[in-house]
């Protein structure tokens, strides 16, 4: 399972990219709105693309098919490698069908059920983003939804890549990797949490302490021998 970072924050994205663990970035209008409003959206998107260079999903803000297609053309004029993120609504599916005909990659977002995922795949989506955290928030079992989606994909040999989205904690990453999701797009905070373990920190501290002790002993011996 590849990792993407779900963020529009350049500092977070730059740090995650420097660790070599992410292969792409997903953004959405809410993530962009959290950032400095004086920075032009096109400029921010291009800065993100320059930083990571891999997959970058950019979401449209229209709800009608023509508007989505116009926005897609605009985004593609910024950089032709863009993946166009389209909401899982009927007009969105029509836009996905047209973009797929033109071989433009699409990421269908806001998918909460296996049947929505199936419809997005049928329309020609390159990626289907299945949201986990928001389902858990309302008391539904998001991992069961992901289990159903991956089973349907295996049974039917579907080609759209499955993105686990709305990730809230490292257990989501673990479960989605076990189920065979292709990608998990992960908030920076969760990405960092998934790297840490207290035994790693205490183990490293013990190694460093022992190294310093050994160095001090060696220095003492060297001085004594002079």
- List contacts with ligand E4P (CB under 6 A): 6, 26, 28, 109, 129, 131, 133-134, 165-166, 185
Look up 189 and say whether it is catalytic.
Answer: no
Task: Give the nearer residue to ligand E4P in terms of CB position, either 104 or 108.
Answer: 108
**Whole-angstrom Cα distance, residue 5 to residue 187?**
6
Contact 37, 217 (CB under 8 A): no
**Whole-angstrom Cα distance, residue 159 to residue 53?**
23
Q: Smallest distance, Å, CB 14 to ligand E4P? A: 19
Task: Give the nearer residue to ligand E4P in terms of CB position, either 133 or 180.
Answer: 133
**Whole-angstrom Cα distance, residue 105 to residue 58?**
11
Q: Smallest distance, Å, CB 131 to ligand E4P? A: 6
Q: Smallest distance, Å, CB 219 to ligand E4P? A: 52
Contact 106, 84 (CB under 8 A): yes
Task: Give the nearer residue to ligand E4P in terms of CB position, either 34 or 220.
Answer: 34
Question: What are the beta bridge partners of residue 183?
Answer: 2, 163
Q: Smallest distance, Å, CB 205 to ligand E4P? A: 33
Contact 85, 60 (CB under 8 A): yes
Given the residues 34, 85, 97, 223, the one annotated as active site: 85
Contact 182, 158 (CB under 8 A): no
Task: Give the nearer residue to ligand E4P in terms of CB position, either 16 or 208.
Answer: 16
Catalytic residue positions, numbered: 85
């Amino acid at each position: 399972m590849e990792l993407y970072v779900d963020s529009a924050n350049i500092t977070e994205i730059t740090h995650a990219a420097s660790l070599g663990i992410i292969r792409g970035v997903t953004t959405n209008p809410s993530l962009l709105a959290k950032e400095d409003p004086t920075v032009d959206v096109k400029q921010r998107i291009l800065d993100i693309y320059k930083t990571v260079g891999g997959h970058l999903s950019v979401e449209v803000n229209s709800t009608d098919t023509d508007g989505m297609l116009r926005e897609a053309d605009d985004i593609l004029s910024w950089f032709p490698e863009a993946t166009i993120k389209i909401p899982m609504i009927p007009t969105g599916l029509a836009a996905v069908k047209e973009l797929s005909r033109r071989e433009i990659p699409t990421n269908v977002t806001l998918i909460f059920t296996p049947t929505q995922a199936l419809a997005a795949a049928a329309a020609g989506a390159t990626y289907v983003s299945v949201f986990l955290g928001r389902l858990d928030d309302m008391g539904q079992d998001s991992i069961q939804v992901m289990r159903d989606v991956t089973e349907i994909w295996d049974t039917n040999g579907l080609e759209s890549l499955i993105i686990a989205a709305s990730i809230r904690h490292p257990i989501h990453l673990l479960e989605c990797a076990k189920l065979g999701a292709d990608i998990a797009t992960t908030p920076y905070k969760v990405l960092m949490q998934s790297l840490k373990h207290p035994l790693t920190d205490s183990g490293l501290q013990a190694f460093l302490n022992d190294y310093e002790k050994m160095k001090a002993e060696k220095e003492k011996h060297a001085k004594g021998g002079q």
